[in-house]
Amino acid sequence: MATPRRVLLLLLALAAAALAGAEEGPRGRRLLVLLDDLAVRSSHSAFFGSLQARGFDLDFRLADDPKLSLHRYGFGGSVDQNAVLEFIDAGHDVILAADSSASDLIRGIATECGVDFDEDPEAMVIDHINYAVTDVDGDHTLIAGDDLIQSDVILGSKKIEAPVLFRGIGHTANPSNSLVLKVLSASPSAYSANPKTKLASPPSLTGSAISLVSVMQARNNARVLISGSLDLFSNLFLKSGVQKAGSKKRHERAGNEQFVTETSKWVFHERGHLKAINVKHHKVGETNEPGMYRINDDLEYSVEIYEWSGTSWKPYVADDVQLQFFMMSPYVLKTMSTDKKGLYSTSFKVPDVYGVFQFKVEYQRLGYTGLSFTKQIPVRPYRHNEYERFITSAYPYYTASFSTMGAFFIFSFVYLYHK
């Protein structure tokens, strides 16, 4: 079941601007596909066809094309590590697929995205237990992977029943990088080594620590998918049946087609992209937004949050969206209620502290784009004429004052007129 070995598949989402029209999407529909061999265009035509069927416009180019000028595609210079990283920093999305002959360029880009490929250039992922059954016994580098991330937003709501075929190199996610997620992991019996030689020492990558496919969502919400297998996207793997070693069940189709379709939808923001609009705040009983609040005012705050479904914006429904009323630290932290139509709201009393506060929403949820927005508002104390004329809690002091004055009057009268 071997396919011709290629080095690189690099899909760059060129436009971060929204689509035109009434239903504006979060991303554009142009993709630059950089290949080391244009033959991949035909050997992986099913995957490319699925992208085109979803409305993407694909531009195929050779990565080493001397006439390739990336200025026209939204970032400058040649295809080098800095150019790709600047492209990601600008908020664009990338799918990167390589194999065991991946260049230093590909390894460098992956490292900067929080992923480290096996340093051995001849190493491949090997699994003598969880391999795909073939007619001829091989070196068990054809993996039948089924250890998938539990996330409907990344992999879709429909469960991937069949194992995913994988042949390629493994990588590890940098533990210090919290932005990287392992989407398809190797089994505990897997290891990374040269399949053509005997092991002279224990392999450096073993077990479930090996990631086969990983994703990274940067803090600017740019998304990157990194796969150590170009075959994962090939027509052969997308159309092949699969039977996992030790299992009697044979699937007519491997899970590759569903896997690459759903993950590419996530990478290109067809799912899991949130937007917040109509942020409002005002005093209870009023509708106009004031320029300043007073301590102990009762106020209301609301925001509308929607999720892109691939074709339109749908109300986002969750029970964990929180609002902070913030000055150096949160004075108020409230979980907002939702009408399940996209509107989130809450009400609270302004703290008895004056200064410059912020309404602050920081929302981070696995697989979704992060939401972060603030609005600054000053809070003033009472004016001199806004205090109560008589304060109930001060009545004992009022009584003490008047009783003292009365006693002094009685004492003076008695002292002056008593004979």
pLDDT tens digits along 376-407: 999 999 888 777 777 788 888 888 999 999 99
CB contact at 8 A, 91 and 221:
yes
pLDDT score recorded for residue 419: 65
pLDDT per residue over 279-292, tens digit each? 999 999 999 999 99
- DSSP assignment string, 65-104: -TT--GGGGTS-SSSSHHHHHHHHHTT--EEEEE-TT--H
pLDDT score recorded for residue 2: 40
**Could you tell me which residues come within 8 angstroms of residue 85 by beta carbon, excluding any fewer than 6 positions away?**
109, 112
- DSSP assignment string, 201-261: S--SSBGGG-EEEEEEE-TT--EEEEES-SGGGSHHHHH--EEBTT---EESS-THHHHHH
User: Which tokens belong to 284?
Assistant: 């209870």
pLDDT score recorded for residue 70: 56
pLDDT score recorded for residue 23: 55
CB contact at 8 A, 323 and 360:
yes
pLDDT score recorded for residue 69: 61
pLDDT score recorded for residue 16: 45
- What is the DSSP code (8-state) at residue 112? H
Dihedral sign of CA atoms 88, 91, 92, 96 in order: positive
Extract the residue ranges of the chain whose pLDDT is less than 50.
1-7, 16-22, 135-136
pLDDT score recorded for residue 240: 92
